[in-house]
Amino acid sequence: MNKHAPIGVFDSGIGGLSICRAIRHVMPTEDMLYFADTEHSPYGTKSDDFLRYRTQQILTFFQEKGCKAIVVACNTATVHTIENLRSNQLMPVIGVEPGIKPARQATVTGKIGVLATNQTIASESFARLKHRICADIEVYSQPCPDFVRIVEQGAIDSPQTEAAVRHYVQPLLDKNCDQLVLGCTHFSFLRDSISRFVQGRAEIIDTADAVARQVERRLGEAQLLNHSQRNASLHFFSSGCPDQASSALQNCWTVNLQSTRRVCI
């Protein structure tokens, strides 16, 4: 496999680009392809069978593009499809899950808060994760349905964002949570807004950073790290309107996209 090949990253919308941002910070010379499956967003309302079928189609798309690794930058897709995607695959396939483990290790009060979607909080895998890692501490789960919409609209710095952050985060601070886990890739783009509201009263655990380090580790093990000194590229693909999605992205992350294309998969 070619170490100069790109990394493929996908999500149901632009939230997974927070993973691309973290990867770019850790591995600035790695090329990436991003696929936003906006035509089928949100994934949380889809059946397991559909998600397995759809993510396999996306995996095939990345394989045809010659990707050397795939990142499933969506908690819902990771929960329901990651094992299926990894079967019979030689390339690394990396998923995401809420960063409960580092929060468990860092908490002093014994209380952590998880900001996530309704689908993640209701999933069996999240329940198993809490039971396995946090049996001796209190975990408070806060569904944040407005956060995804805010990010998809690119309304990061707005009064509605400040109001939503206050509405979702204050109850966790009231419960004396000293660790706040961002349990959705979309939420990484709201980290600064959350941090301004928290004002040091709790530590914010961003899953994107850990995923980027995992990608680096897996590529290193496979001797696929790209150590060239050139500028890396990021190409944006969407099953919906790419211009609308890329416009919202620019309000979340100032990045140069080498191309934006709508593709039918």
Residue 146 among known ligand-binding residues: no
Residue 75 among known ligand-binding residues: yes
CA–CA distance from 210 to each of 4, 128, 181, 184, 229 (Å)?
23, 20, 12, 13, 24
* C-alpha torsion sign, points 137, 142, 148, 150: negative
Helix-helix angle 159-174:191-198, to 10 degrees: 50
What is the DSSP pairing of strand 69-72 with strand 7-11? parallel
Examine the residue annotation and report whether 74 is marked as an active-site residue of this protein.
Answer: yes
Residue 84 among known ligand-binding residues: no
Residue 44 among known ligand-binding residues: yes
d(C-alpha 211, C-alpha 120), whole Å:
17
Identified catalytic residue from 67, 74, 134, 177:
74
Cross-strand pairs, 69: 7
What is the DSSP pairing of strand 259-262 with strand 179-182? unpaired
* Conformation bin of residue 139: beta by default, left when phi > 0, alpha when psi is -120 to 50: beta
Q: 233 with 204: CB under 8 angstroms?
A: no
Q: What are the φ and ψ backbone dihedral angles of 74, each rounded to 5 degrees? A: -150, 125
Residue 11 among known ligand-binding residues: yes
Q: How many CB atoms lie within 10 A of CB 227?
A: 9
Identified catalytic residue from 67, 134, 144, 184:
184
Residue 43 among known ligand-binding residues: yes
Examine the residue annotation and report whether 252 is marked as an active-site residue of this protein.
Answer: no
Residue 188 among known ligand-binding residues: no
Residue 206 among known ligand-binding residues: no
CA 121 to chain centre: 15
Binding-site residue numbers for substrate are 11-12, 43-44, 75-76, 185-186
Name the residues annotated as catalytic.
Answer: 74, 184
